[in-house]
Amino acid sequence: MVDTSSWHGKTPKRSGRSLNQGMDTAVAAPASKPSRRRRNRQASSDATAEPALSPKAQRALKRQAARAQQELIQYAVFSLLGAVVVGLLLSLLVEPKIGIGALVAILCLALSFKYPRQAIFAFVIYLPFSGTVTYALGGSGILQLAKDAIYIPALIGVIQFCRKTKQPFIIPPALKLPLSILLTLLTMTLLFVNLPQQLAAPPGQHPILIGIIGLKVLLGYLPLIACIYYLIRDRNDLYFLLRVQVVLILICCSLGFVQYMMLKTGVCPGTTATGADGFKPSLAARCFFGGSLLYNPAQGQIRLPGTFVAPWQWGWFLISSGFFCFGTTFSDRNPFWRLIGLITLATVCVLAVLSGQRIALVLVPITVVGLLVLTGQVANLKRFVPIGIGMALILSILVAQNPALLSQRWESFQSRWEASPPQEFIREQFDWARREQEGILGRGVGRATNSARIFGQVELVETYHPKLLFEIGYLGLLATLSLYTALTITTYRAYRSVKDPNLRGYAASMWVFVLFISFFPYYYPLDVDPVNIYYWLAAGIALKLPALDRQERFQQDSQSPSKKRKLTKRELKQLKQQQAAETFD
């Protein structure tokens, strides 16, 4: 048996019957056959009833809760005192902003390590606001890595949990081989390419640090699959996480609309530069939220960053948000949250037009239509018809009120396409990357990673797969594609194995997102926030859904007298893994 004792000295807060309790023995038939209504009412009460706890057990639970509360208070106080001391010293010796940043960072590190489950939620919540926070505190390049002060300690906690409960950390197992090959190639590139570059580098250039950042960007968030897998313990956790995500999207889109109205009404001046600079996003035009923007209506130019650092991050946030909103719109069990999902999805479509993001303007509706087909929701007339009518009504009203705006955005997209057709641009990028090859290991890990520019000069490669070819060569590119292919196949199998209609709808949305991002050839979404995090988040959700589906069926079987049976060895193994995962707190 797997040790299901709690993590960090705590026991699971939830109580109730074990999933396999009573499944090993047969149950005698009832003496008389009750009516159908009575049987349904009795089955419903049996499914929700919990065994009464003895007074001794109740006292033990109260003592446990008191100890946990006392432990939290003591740990928080000591962490706060240590952070305040370090923050005061840095404020006096260096700069007050540095001291405040250090105080917050130390608190995040300490609390995230102690409470990784809550830290993962905080990480997901903080992500869409990270750009706004970064520039509100001065815009330092180091601040752009601040979210990792939450993620890394939580990740260490998850690793410790997996070691303690003997649970797998690499999820799914199909990733082990391609991941091992890719890590081997990356290590060889660091040793035989980045290290020699470091030895011959001029002052101010740090190829080794560039390589570390490149490695972190490429694979640093892959363990988020395991974090999300163990974060979601049951269906309630799943719905909570996805509803929080929809609320975050709605808040960010609302702030993006406020930003647009501030620029339109003159509260923010917009772009005041002239010449070529009048056509480029800049921090000088920043408007309350996010980072650099471009707003020059006289020239028909608008590129808003929303709550993110740059406009292209905001565009990909809108694209990825469509997948999460779609899942909630069609698959949430609560009609209220399905309505919220529909409103948020419509808001995403509106912001794709207002923000001036040409790629979002095109891809948001395309991905929604693709999701309708690939997830089978177009055949689910009971939900598709009212949602489709509602969506069409909302968008029709908005288009009727602003026909000139939509026409202007479409003309901007057409002019961009004609000036640089995507297929030609991608081919040119591949040709350039092939010409730049030196040996079989590429030009060095991170040498075309935009976020690594704080440690030295990097190349700007605007499409993802040529960027990989430039950095790690043909072998590295093939190994990376093998990893993404393995993940896409396993998420597809996970989706196909789910039987519950609502869970299956979520699984389909997450699988399509993984498929779309894995092989999308234009731009480099897996290199920038938030897609480089949402990609692994979606994979973790998709891979967890079959376990939740089995958990539901186990519970139904345990409550149904006619289905009492012994579990197979495979079912027992899966059940033990689920019980161990429920101790993640």
Whether residue 139 has pLDDT greater than 70: no
The pLDDT value given to residue 98: 72
Angle at 171 between CA 329 and CA 116, to 5 degrees: 75
Q: What is the 3-state secondary structure (H, E, C) of 557-569?
A: HHHCHHHCCCCCH
The pLDDT value given to residue 467: 93
Mean pLDDT, residues 157-169 taken together:
90
pLDDT in tens, 492-513: 999 999 988 889 999 999 999 9
> Which of residues 279 and 293 earns the better pLDDT score?
293
The pLDDT value given to residue 124: 92
Determine phi and psi for 231, rounding to 5 degrees.
-65, -40
Give the whole-angstrom CA distance, residue 581 versus residue 331. 24
Give the whole-angstrom CA distance, residue 213 versus residue 220. 9
The pLDDT value given to residue 155: 92
Average pLDDT, the chain: 81
Whether residue 130 has pLDDT greater than 70: yes
The pLDDT value given to residue 408: 72
Whether residue 40 has pLDDT greater than 70: no
Give the whole-angstrom CA distance, residue 199 versus residue 207. 9
SS3 384: helix
The pLDDT value given to residue 47: 41
Give the whole-angstrom CA distance, residue 112 versus residue 106. 10
Give the whole-angstrom CA distance, residue 513 versus residue 324. 9
The pLDDT value given to residue 288: 86
Which residues sit opposite 294 in a β-bridge?
A: 303
Helices (H) and strands (E) counted in the chain, each on its own, are 21, 2
Predicted confidence band of residue 576 (pLDDT cuts 50, 70, 90):
low
Reference 524, options 452, 437, 456; nearest CA is 452
Give the whole-angstrom CA distance, residue 521 versus residue 478. 14
The pLDDT value given to residue 580: 58
Angle at 520 between CA 512 and CA 465, to 5 degrees: 140
Predicted confidence band of residue 574 (pLDDT cuts 50, 70, 90):
low
The pLDDT value given to residue 559: 60
Whether residue 557 has pLDDT greater than 50: yes
Determine phi and psi for 309, rounding to 5 degrees.
-70, -40
Predicted confidence band of residue 196 (pLDDT cuts 50, 70, 90):
very high
pLDDT in tens, 284-328: 888 888 888 988 887 778 889 989 988 989 999 999 999 999 999
Which amino acid, 139?
G
Predicted confidence band of residue 36 (pLDDT cuts 50, 70, 90):
very low
The pLDDT value given to residue 85: 83
Predicted confidence band of residue 585 (pLDDT cuts 50, 70, 90):
low
pTM: 0.83
Reference 269, options 257, 258, 284, 279; nearest CA is 284
Name the E strands within 107-206.
Answer: none
Determine phi and psi for 564, rounding to 5 degrees.
-65, 125
Give the whole-angstrom CA distance, residue 167 versus residue 584. 11
The pLDDT value given to residue 572: 59
* Long-range Cβ pairs for the range 346-349 (8 Å, 24+): 346/391, 346/394, 346/395, 347/249, 347/250, 347/253, 347/254, 347/257, 348/249, 348/253, 348/318, 348/321, 348/322, 349/395
10 Å Cβ neighbour count for 488?
Answer: 19
Distance spanning both ends of the chain, measured CA to CA:
20
Which amino acid, 185?
L
Whether residue 539 has pLDDT greater than 90: yes
Predicted confidence band of residue 578 (pLDDT cuts 50, 70, 90):
low
Give the whole-angstrom CA distance, residue 205 versus residue 453. 10
> Which of residues 38 and 423 earns the better pLDDT score?
423
Give the whole-angstrom CA distance, residue 502 versus residue 84. 47
The pLDDT value given to residue 13: 41
